[in-house]
Structure 1
Amino acid sequence: MSRLFWYFHFTVFYLGLWNPVAFGKSNTNDNTLGIPVLPIYCDKDGVYYANVSLGSPAQPHKMRIDISKPYSWVISGAQDIQCNKLHSGCFENDVFYPNESISGVSLSNSYEYNMNFIDNVRVNGTLFMDTMNFTDTSMLGNLSNTVQNNSMLTMTSDYLALRNISFVTTSSSTTDLGSLGLGGSIHSSVFDIDSENFQDTFFLLKTMANLNLIKSKSYSLWLGNCRRTIDTITPDADNGSVAGKLILGAVDPSLYEGEFFQFNTISYIEPSHNLSTFGYPILPMGPIYMTSQAGRRLNMTSEQYLQPALLDSSFVGSFLPANTIIQIAIQIGAIYIESLNRWVVPCSVASMGAHIDFTFDGLDIKVPLSDLLTSSKDPATNSTMHFAEGESACFLMLYSNNAMGFNVLGTSFIKNAYIAVDLDGTKVAIAQAKNTTGDSTSIVTVIPALTGGGSTTAVRTVRKISSGYIPYATLRMAKNETHLSIRPTGTVTEVPAQFTAFVNSNGMIAGNGRSFYDTSRLSTTLRSTTSQEYLSLRTVGDNSTVASTGGATSRNAAAGKRAQLYRDTQTGSSLSWNLAAWTSVLSLSLLGYLALFV
């Protein structure tokens, strides 16, 4: 690309000679092009997926939307002698049978790839090429002016077929569902995941761009319509409603509200060889706050907090610093069950109207506390964990980032954000998602025709993303952002034993360590851990139940005392609140819930 182009690019964007946000359009007439939109569904476990069929005859699959990894994969049925053959009729359970397809070609020559990704997702399998069909696609804009049929692509108003798409057929993986890879290229010293060793056909977005289906390797994602309660998630595919939208190569401004901020993606640095990858959706995340229904807000980190965070739809929960999770636990009265490696909290907390605010250089993404809780019900026994007074316990879907070495924001966060990704320009834009509990037809976007008459009114329509340009997004540069990168570390945060408990055989949560009501002990014996472990707690002292017969009130008071105890054991650490003020609050009321629900 010429120097003249870059000079012009700098001039119009940075000197303000051209403002595409103000005029509501880019430098091309996007309205003459069709924009493919894939409906996204969510299952009972909160996994977001697209309906895809592979091969000829078509084998239907639910493929998880994966925004952090570039490759797609499916569960292989190659070892199933009864089904892995022509005309077997085995089209169930999201398993792919290579020999059932007459259009597929093996690419591996019997070599099995062992793919270990940065988020600890592992996939082992062989490479395969076949047809990939999206049968419930919708098209925004003018289909007649879009490439509709060639040797690689067939497209109608509700159907999209891509031929010669390559993917992995897994013999084993850490996931029980196939994945639709939307991530950028990976630079790695490991042959099996280094993108230099894979043809363009392995990259779905690159294939679409090569076919002129999209202008650049880009998409936007909205997941705001998954109807969920703590006990269950409505399986949207069963009732025909859509949980979200994957808009290929474009931005739909009707799906977000407030500011739409764009950031340069932060690099991931491979520890062993210092190789940098900018293909991951990594953003500079600032302080994390908890806000009550009444608007009271407390910092769970520090005012100067700024760390990279990977957006990763492979997980429902999120991985955050252990200290941050402890501060959140203090506010909601959560306790840690070491044997389960989980935090638990009374399920009633979900109805209190509190939310966690994740900040990105002045932009807040509000995540309701209810989206971070899930039932402790065990399907095998049909039983639910409970506290001593009988109140049901819920799991907090926040985990220590010690296991990862960096922050990860899963779909419980992503469903509350509208995200646009420009892989060519290595940029990610983010805004607060618009949420709806109604049918998806109420949010269908229509692209209006631009009319004459000299009107200067901005028309906010669906616009295509091009390399280096995300429509409607405002470029932001967080302070010290240029010094950020993800480089996994071995740092481990120790947690006082006063936050631990265990579960009795009858499902009641009880403490096998020091009583939560006793604040006289101001130090704790800790167990050393390694970077591969989650929170590790040692229990000391006597045995006592976590919750007394006094019910929720006594447990809330205990939470307040644990809050003070935790602060006493963290000598020399910086806190984001005034301890003296909180100590006076302790003498008056229940600190644990006061911060949240007053």
Structure 2
Amino acid sequence: MLHNNISKLTSLLLFTFTFNKVLGDDAVTTTPANNNNNNNNNPQTTSDDNVVRLTLARQTTTPEAITNTLTQTTTSRIPTSQTAENSADEEVFKILLTMPSDDNYYNGMFGFGGNGNGNNGVQQIELRLDLIQPDVWVMNNASFYDCSYLSEWWDSEASYYGITLVTNSEGEESTEIDLPASITTMEQYTASNCARNGRYAETIPVDQQPQPTDDVFHNGDTRIIPYINLINAMGQINTNNFSFNITNGNLVRIDQFTFVNVNDTNMYVGGLGLAGNPSNSGFLYSLVDQGIIRSPGYSLWFNNQSDWQNALGQLIPGVVNKKYYNGDLVAYDMVQQQGTRYPPDLAGTDSELNELNLPIVSILDLVVENESTGQTMSMKSSDDPLPVLLDSRSFYTYLPLDIIINLAIQMNAYYSSEADRWLVECDVISNSTADLNFQFGGGLQVRIPLTEFITTAVYEGKTLNFEDGQQACFLAMSPTSKTGYNSLGLPFIRRIYLVVDNEGQKIAMANSNNYLQVDRQDLAPEVTRVTTLNQTAVSISLATASSTRTGGSNSSTSMTGSIAQIAFKQIPFATTYSQNSSDSSVIFSFTSVYANSDDGAENLDRIPARLSGAMIRSGSIYLTGVGGGSLTTTTTIPGRGATAASANPSSTRNIGVGSAGEIGGMMRGVFEKDIRIVMGIIGGIVLVVLM
């Protein structure tokens, strides 16, 4: 019989439940467990009953809920030099990144193999932008089925055997039809993963492949990709030709390129690793070897779109371009990581992980603010710098639980232990003018609308709504205990211009130039010639590139007045942030989070009771208002159609045991007696913050 929890069809082909239930990140198919040894302190409370109100005003109109869609920024009164690429910008060595139609992440197209004559024999495979590991890796054709093929296979079998899925009162899907062993023993049936965007077929036996140019690797050796997150990927070292288009149309080929042919992973798509590593291996180091770039660094720019048809990014190896950012570019020393991710028998992988150069930077403060009034409130419970990893394979943001709770209360979010997510009314957020202001050293502030941190709530195949019919969204944030470390995902990364100097262990950030209009149809036009990567290719792509590796030459890094190369400990145009003693002592700690060690639920005893009473039944959310005691408080809890201006500022409610049985409706504003500060209004609803 098919599994009685969730249908094999759903779990094998779509992994939708696992994806939404687990990370909200790149498609990790193993369930992370909760880390009960979280070192984050509980949010501080105060014995005072001081009331601080922050009005986060509604817009004058009420559009439909915006979930994961960035609004096109107007370009009025912006100089043309800031809105369009010129010929110098277009000729810089850049790689186009686009978003597939079935997920929220950025991929580039790469070719493997081939005989050097055009695209003959080249296997076109999409690789995912991967900032936190050093390898290029692909999914092995011999180990994974294509996801579209598996979908067709299951559709065929379901049709042949007349399989009808039945959903019980708990939302579990099952079928009473017994399938023959000839089906249940097939690899298609037992497959636990599949490949979405291309697979690699080994065309040359390992023992006949050219030897890797890096002595540290040998063809056929087993390689575990050193990931700090919950991604698992293991395979064998392979060497073959490697090719890709740059945005000016040239096809670039690197001969004898070493990569990992993965046969065991919990991902759908391979990776283009960009992390610095002591072995000086990987994509960026190959470009240094060929003289294309001076140092194994890169910069990243994304446009102001997040729908897959229009979203794009540009990976710019070795170069900084002032066109792609606004304001100051501020450089920081990378925060060093320290921790354990793998079991004791893989201590070598842990050692390698701790030696990687990763994009880790410290947040000084995280503030919710109303841009129209200037009112602000910090979400942090201490003044200590908060180190965070920038992870391009994560959509979710992972922060200490006290910050998540403070943000959840600001957004009127409720935790559901069933979905293992925070739920919020979509319109409350999408109709507000609230921003999250990420504050870093050197005065850098990155403001991101709260709408970027919500996503449509789907649970067990059903789009969720609150009992009164209002659409529900997931808060795309979870506590550090889910991963074992703090991180910022794509909602943050695509709002900044990011520069990484792997060799000098520097990272620089600025606000992205979202006024810049780049048409993806103008990038990577039809290829007119094939170029084997050599000194001639250097003259085509970067005429002034240095051809030396570590340390480079003493020649100038400047290419034009606004375009320059990254060199060892030199990020062009950046202002270096002078760290103080507290900054320099910060360590980015991470710890193991093993799959299935428990049910993955958050530490409910640390979540205020009034926030943890969301129950899901048949696609509807009921707020039970778990909690006891009574509290008389002065607050504003208007009806849904009310605006901040029409709210009654002194509505007194007696809230005690059972009063929140009024599921939904006005009683979403119930307060727990251990919550001391009334903080703000989003769309006319008074919310609470723990300090």
Q: TM-score, normalised by structure 1?
A: 0.69
Is the CA contact 1:36–1:248 (under 8 Å) kept in the aligned structure 2? yes
The one-letter code of the counterpart of 2:675 is: R
2:371–2:434 Cα contact (<8 Å) kept: yes
Change (3 A) 1:511 1:591: closer
Question: Quick check: 1:37 aligned with 2:146?
Answer: no
How far apart are residue 251 of structure 1 and its match? 0.8
Amino acid at match of 1:433: S
Aligned with 2:495 (options 416, 421, 431): 416
Select which of 589, 608, 621 maps to 1:487: 589
Matched, 1:55 2:113: yes
**Alignment CA distance shift 1:65-1:92 (3 Å):** closer
Q: Distance in 2 between matches of 1:497 and 1:120?
A: 30
Q: CA deviation at 1:162?
A: 1.5
Shift, 1:120, TM fit: 2.4
Bigger mean CA offset, 467-476 vs 363-372: 363-372
CA apart distance, 1:495: 2.1
Matched residues in 2 for 1:347 and 1:33: separation?
Answer: 39
Matches within 5 A, 1:136-215: 137-139=246-248, 157-185=249-277, 196=279, 200=280, 202-215=281-294
Structure 2 SS opposite 1:327: helix
What's the counterpart of residue 291 of structure 1?
369
Tell me the CA shift for residue 516 of structure 1.
9.6
Which of 488, 495, 504 matches 2:616? 504
Q: Partner of 1:498: helix, strand, or coil?
A: helix
Q: Structure 1: where are the runs of 5+ without partners?
A: 1-30, 83-90, 140-156, 186-194, 229-233, 450-457, 522-539, 569-578
1:476 equivalent to 2:577? Answer yes
Q: 1:515 to 1:430 in 2, by over 3 A?
A: same
Report the equivalent of 1:94.
198
- What's the offset of the Cα at 1:477? 2.6
Residues 191-590 of structure 1 aligned to structure 2 (within 5 Å): 196=279, 200=280, 202-225=281-304, 227-228=305-306, 234-236=307-309, 241=310, 243-271=312-340, 277=355, 279-294=357-372, 295-302=374-381, 304-348=383-427, 349-361=429-441, 362-377=443-458, 381=461, 383-436=462-515, 439-440=518-519, 460-479=561-580, 480-488=582-590, 494-512=606-624, 514=626, 519=631, 547-548=663-664, 550=665, 554-555=667-668, 557-558=669-670, 561-562=671-672, 565-568=673-676, 579=677, 582=678, 590=685
Q: 1:64 aligns with which of 128, 143, 152?
A: 128
**8 Å contact from structure 2 (residues 109, 127) kept in 1:** yes
Q: What code does the residue aligned with 1:255 have? A: Y
1:305 shift after superposition: 3.2
Q: Is 1:113 equivalent to 2:223 in the alignment?
A: yes
Inter-partner Cα distance in structure 1 for 2:404 and 2:378? 12
Q: Which has the higher contact order (CA 8 A, sep 6+)?
A: 2
8 Å CA contact 1:287–1:303 kept in 2: the answer is no
Unpaired segments ≥5 residues, structure 2: 1-87, 115-120, 147-194, 212-216, 524-540, 544-558, 594-601, 634-655
C-alpha deviation, 1:481, in angstroms:
1.4
After superposition, the C-alpha distances for 1:342-370 in whole angstroms (9 at most, x for unaligned) are 11111111231221111111211112211
Determine helix, strand or coil for the equivalent of 1:413.
helix
When residues 224 and 33 of structure 1 are mapped into structure 2, their CA distance, relative to the original with a 3 A threshold, is closer
Distance 2:395 2:210 in 1: 34
1:376 aligned partner, one-letter code? A
Determine which of 240, 262, 266 is the counterpart of 1:130.
Answer: 240
Task: Label 1:519 to 1:113 Cα distance change in 2 as closer, same or farther (>3 A).
Answer: farther
**Number of the residue aligned with 2:25:** none
Q: Provide the rounded CA distance (Å) in 2 between the counterparts of 1:460 and 1:184.
A: 28
Question: In the alignment, residue 571 of structure 2 is paired with which amino acid?
Answer: I
Compute the RMSD of aligned alpha carbons: 3.9
Give 1:501's aligned amino acid: G
Between stretches 34-43 and 410-419, larger displacement belongs to 34-43
Q: Do the aligned partners of 2:409 and 2:689 also contact (CA within 8 Å) in 1?
A: no
Pairs aligned (count): 465
- What displacement does 1:413 show? 0.8
Query: What is the CA distance between 1:505 and its match in structure 2?
Result: 3.1
Q: In 2 relative to 1, CA 546–72 (structure 1 residues): closer, same or farther, beyond 3 Å?
A: farther
How far apart, in 1, do the equivalents of 2:357 and 2:674 lie? 39
**Equivalent residues of 2:381, 2:403 under 8 A apart:** no
User: Post-superposition shift, 1:488?
Assistant: 2.6
Distance 2:437 2:609 in 1: 28
The answer as to whether partners of 2:223 and 2:234 remain within 8 angstroms in 1 is yes
Kindly, what percent of the aligned residue pairs are identical?
Answer: 22
